[in-house]
C-alpha cells in the first residue's frame, strides 16, 4: 500500500504536528473506564470486538467529515465513548432511558455507588 493511493482521500490543514512523542495513557479517569469497558464487554462476548471497531471507525469517520482535521475539540476518547454508546444502545444491551436516568443520578450524586 503506497502513499499515492491514499492522497486523494486526504484532507485537513497543514498545521504543525504535535512534537511531544511521549505516549499518553488517559487524560482523565473516565477515559480509562470507557476504554476498559469496551474491551471487557467484548471479552464477555456481549458483542464481537469487530462490531466495536466498526462503530469506532464510523464515529470517527463522521467526525472527520464534519470537522477540520485541526479542530482543537477533537478528543479521541469522546469518539470512543460515543462509539461504545451507539453499539450498546443499538444492540439493546441497555436502553437509552435507563442510561440517561443513571447518568443523571451520578451527575447529581443521588446514587451511592463507588465506581
Partner 1 sequence: MTKENHGDHEHHNHLRESETYYAARTKALESLFREKGLIGIDTVDRVIRFFEHDMGPFNGAKVVAKAWSDPAFKARLMADANAGIAELGLKDGIEGENLRVVENTATVHNVVCCTLCSCWPWPLLGLPPYWFKDPVFRARIVREPRAVLLDFGVTLPKEKKIEIWDSSAQVRYFVIPERPAGTENWSEEQLAKLVSTEAMQGLDLVKA
Cell of 46: 456481549
Pairwise CA distance, residues 45 & 34, whole Å? 17
Cell of 59: 464515529
Number of residues that bind partner 1 (CB under 8 A): 73
CB of 31 to partner 1, least distance (A): 8
Residue 97 near partner 1 by CB under 8 A: no
Residue 74 near partner 1 by CB under 8 A: yes
Per-position x/- string for 4-23, each x denoting binding to partner 1 as judged by CB under 8 A, each - no binding: --xx-xxxxxxxxxxxxxxx
* Three-state DSSP class for residue 75: coil
Residues from 37 through 66 that contact partner 1 (CB under 8 A): 37, 39-44, 46, 49-50, 53, 56-57, 60-61, 63-64
Cell of 94: 441497555
Instruction: State which residue, 49 or 90, has the beta carbon closest to partner 1.
Output: 49
Pairwise CA distance, residues 94 & 114, whole Å? 20
Residue 86 near partner 1 by CB under 8 A: no
CB of 82 to partner 1, least distance (A): 10
Pairwise CA distance, residues 7 & 27, whole Å? 32
Amino acid at each position: 500500500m503506497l502513499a499515492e493511493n491514499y492522497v486523494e482521500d486526504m484532507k485537513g490543514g497543514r498545521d504543525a504536528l504535535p512534537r511531544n512523542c511521549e505516549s499518553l495513557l488517559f487524560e482523565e479517569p473516565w477515559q480509562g473506564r470507557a476504554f476498559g469497558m469496551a474491551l471487557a464487554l467484548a471479552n464477555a462476548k456481549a458483542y464481537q470486538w469487530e462490531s466495536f471497531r466498526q462503530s469506532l471507525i464510523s464515529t470517527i469517520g463522521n467526525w472527520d467529515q464534519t470537522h477540520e482535521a485541526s479542530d482543537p475539540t477533537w478528543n479521541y476518547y469522546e469518539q470512543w465513548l460515543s462509539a461504545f454508546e451507539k453499539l450498546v444502545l443499538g444492540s439493546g444491551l441497555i436502553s437509552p432511558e435507563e442510561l440517561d436516568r443513571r447518568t443523571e443520578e451520578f451527575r447529581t450524586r443521588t446514587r451511592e455507588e463507588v465506581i
